[in-house]
């Protein structure tokens, strides 16, 4: 990469938007899964891969915000705990992996 990664910053709004995007991916995942079309496995795998990236970036941003707030002696920003998702496994769609039916 030709640019310094230190300049890449996520705002709290970015973290919240990523959280919302992840939830939308979960909705799409569940809808497609319920329909059970022949092409579902490939599409569901792509949704899972996309969600892994969204959750990873969102968690990095939330952690950076938490570190900043802690360093500067500020209270946690409203909604940061929900958006942080620190215990989320990016390998799962926000704990929405399909249940075996």
- C-beta of residue 29 within 8 angstroms of C-beta of residue 96: yes
Whether residue 6 is predicted with pLDDT greater than 50 in this model: the reply is yes
**pLDDT band at 78; cut points 50, 70, 90:** low
The proportion of the chain whose per-residue pLDDT surpasses 90, expressed as a percent, equals 50
Phi-psi category of residue 98: left, alpha or beta, with phi > 0 → left and psi -120 to 50 → alpha:
beta
**pLDDT band at 74; cut points 50, 70, 90:** confident
DSSP string, 14-59: HHHHHHHHHHHHHHHHHHHHHH--TTHHHHHHHHHHHHHHHHHHHH
Whether residue 1 is predicted with pLDDT greater than 70 in this model: the reply is no
Identify the residue with better confidence: 88 or 57. Answer: 57
Taking residues 62-89, report their average pLDDT.
68
Taking residues 56-83, report their average pLDDT.
77
């Amino acid at each position: 990469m030709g640019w310094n990664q230190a300049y890449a910053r996520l705002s709290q709004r970015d973290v919240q938007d990523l959280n919302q995007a992840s939830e939308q991916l979960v909705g799409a995942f569940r809808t497609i899964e319920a329909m059970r079309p022949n092409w579902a496995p490939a599409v569901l795998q792509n949704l899972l891969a996309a969600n892994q990236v969204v959750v990873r970036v969102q968690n990095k941003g939330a952690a950076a915000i938490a570190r900043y707030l802690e360093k500067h002696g500020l209270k946690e920003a409203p909604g940061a705990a929900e958006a942080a998702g620190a215990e989320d496994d990016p390998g799962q769609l926000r704990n929405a992996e399909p249940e075996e039916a």
